[in-house]
Amino acid sequence: MPIKRVISKGRVPVKIYTEDVAENAMKQLENVSQLPFIHSHVAAMPDVHWGMGATIGSVIPTLGAIIPAAVGVDIGCGMNALRLSLRADQLPDSLARVRSAIEAAVPVGFDGHAEDAWCAEGLKRVAPGLKPILDKHPKIHARWQSQLGSLGGGNHFIELCLDEAQQVWIMLHSGSRGIGNRIGMHFIELAKREMEHWKIRLPDQNLAYLPEGSKHFDDYVEAVGWAQDYALENRRQMMRLIIEALRDRLPPFETTTEAINCHHNYVAREHHFGKDVYLTRKGAIRAGEGELGIIPGSMGAKSYIVRGLGNPMSFCSCSHGAGRRMSRGEATRRFTRKDLEAQTQGVECRKDKGVIDEIPAAYKDIDAVMADQTDLVEVVHTLKQVLTVKG
């Protein structure tokens, strides 16, 4: 579907790919559109909803500045999906032991691996880039070694899914863990200090930015780039651990070449509408022409493997998921464990009060989200989860 709404109250327009936008998200989009360094326009994806400073589901092109809170604190958060040679009829009738095996292999929540140096190969790839960052910003330090190859909590997950041909897929969602959070929070605060120093007034203090050439700009670009690489490696290591765990619980299988690993919280240097910009995708994935991506639904809904159409008005982007319809607090107040059990019927997953905030009804309808972005992507595979691991 084409652009559904346009906000014209700011310095540049905001082009929105849905009618389903909450009032608080609309206000945030207006705030971003007022900033003096936004190029061309702001795009809002069909899963758009309120976030810190900038809306989740927004794509923001900037000239000569980056907004750290728009990139967010789960820097490099994204998805990884891999198709296996197994079919649905080769899975056991009960997937409880399979879920237990995955949970034993991949730390969830705040947990990490028992030893910091558990994965020498992965650490070797990411460790060298962190030292110069920590030398300049020692406050950033966090448990990054032991958390490499771990899931985290909240909306992060590991799933086994079946596609339209009843083929089995592994799909996971995670990011840069504690170290990414520290990097994000650290530079958000530094950006706020920059605004105070220069007495710059903003419509929202969380839109504090780092101008190119300022004291901390280059340090942030270096740190955010490292966190994005760490997030990619984190997902790569989790996928390896999951495959190893499944080999002990499922019939022999091969992994296929159809694999996707993509960010949806990040900033990248790209060319759009005649300018080289810093493009921030806050809860959006790149959907360049022919590029594969992943759009997950909630615990009880469908997910999609998509191919980008390279739509220039969305800055070659699409949604990163269904998008929340209500806050975690509201979901916990509104729903019960029985509601969770009913809405995740047929899925092997946690069904306790600790994950009620992730109940499917707390999210937008993924089919409606997909219907709103037919101009942005085409569906390659439709996946339905049969097992979900949550932190």
Annotated binding site for GMP: 155-159, 264-265, 296-299, 303, 320-323, 390
How do 167-174 and 157-162 pair as beta strands?
antiparallel
Q: Residues 63, 69, 74, 79: is their CA dihedral positive or negative?
A: negative
State the virtual CA torsion across 302, 306, 308, 313 in degrees, nearest 10.
Answer: 0
3-state secondary structure of 371: helix
Q: Residues 274, 268, 25, 339: is their CA dihedral positive or negative?
A: positive
3-state secondary structure of 29: helix
If one counts every other C-beta atom within 10 angstroms of the C-beta of residue 163, the result is: 17
How do 14-16 and 42-49 pair as beta strands?
parallel
Q: What DSSP letter does each residue of 287-332 carry, written as one string?
A: --TT-EEEE---TTSEEEEEEE---GGGTSEEESSS-BSS-HHHHH
Q: Give the CA distances from residue 335 to residues 22, 353, 357, in Å, rounded to whole numbers and listed in that order.
A: 21, 9, 8
3-state secondary structure of 253: coil
> Does the annotation mark 272 as catalytic?
no
Q: Binding site for Mn(2+): what residues are annotated?
A: 74, 156, 173, 264
If one counts every other C-beta atom within 10 angstroms of the C-beta of residue 204, the result is: 15
Strand partners, 306: 293, 379
Q: Binding site: what residues are annotated?
A: 74, 155-159, 173, 264-265, 296-299, 303, 320-323, 390
Helix or strand run (H / E) with residue 98:
helix 96-105
Catalytic entry in 137, 263, 320, 381: 320
Beta strands in the chain (DSSP E): 5-7, 14-16, 42-49, 56-62, 65-66, 78-87, 157-162, 167-174, 210-211, 255-263, 265-272, 275-282, 284-286, 292-295, 302-308, 317-319, 377-390
Which residue has 């009829």 as its token pair?
Answer: 89
CA nearest to 74, candidates 158, 130, 151: 151
d(CA 176, CA 179): 6
**Residues catalogued as catalytic:** 320
